[in-house]
Amino acid sequence: MNFNEIDNHIIPMKAFKLNWRFTERKYDLLPEKHLNELKPLDNEASEFLDKYISKVELHNQFPFKRGFFKNIDKAEILEENEKEIRKWLYRRALPFDKTVLLSWDGDTSMKTKWKFVLKYWDSVFYVGSDDLTVFDESLEWALLFFHENEIYWGTNKKYK
């Protein structure tokens, strides 16, 4: 498998094991047009992304392999600071229509646009239970949502 084949591994939202985060009023009920922009991936694609992250040793040291990125920034998730986190993510300066990959583990992944990570970051990531890597295939940048209330941004681009 390769990145060009990922679109062949999109599954329906109802088959996605984390669908409840986006489809149940109790958690977050997304509008249908936004739900359609979230592209859950099957086990084969999820395993491919997980192995890719391992192969490049992205998280060999915490949060990223030493020397992998020139710049690393961190945000702490506190109670009631959702807006501040959204602003912090916005300042990563990625285009809203940038295609990104979300990898929770070898069984769970998704493809979407950056704007949906910005808007629904607190639905894609649950503090205390998730470790989530968000990246694109260039790996010029990556985000690690770490289960202990932290988000790490690594990039090789010039960054303020």
pLDDT at 61: 95
Closest by CA position to 43, among listed 129, 97, 104: 104
Q: Please state, for a pLDDT cut of 90, what percent of the chain lies above it.
A: 91
Full-model pTM: 0.94
Residue for token pair 């929770």: 104
pLDDT at 127: 84
Residues 93-135: tens digit of each pLDDT = 999 999 999 999 999 999 999 999 999 999 999 888 889 999 9
Residues 19-39: tens digit of each pLDDT = 999 999 999 999 999 999 999
Residues 73-83: tens digit of each pLDDT = 999 999 888 89
pLDDT at 56: 96
Q: How far, CA to CA in Å, does 111 sit from each of 35, 101, 130, 131?
A: 12, 5, 17, 16
Q: How far, CA to CA in Å, does 70 sit from each of 128, 141, 160?
A: 28, 10, 12
pLDDT at 147: 94
pLDDT of 160 above 70: no
pLDDT at 134: 98
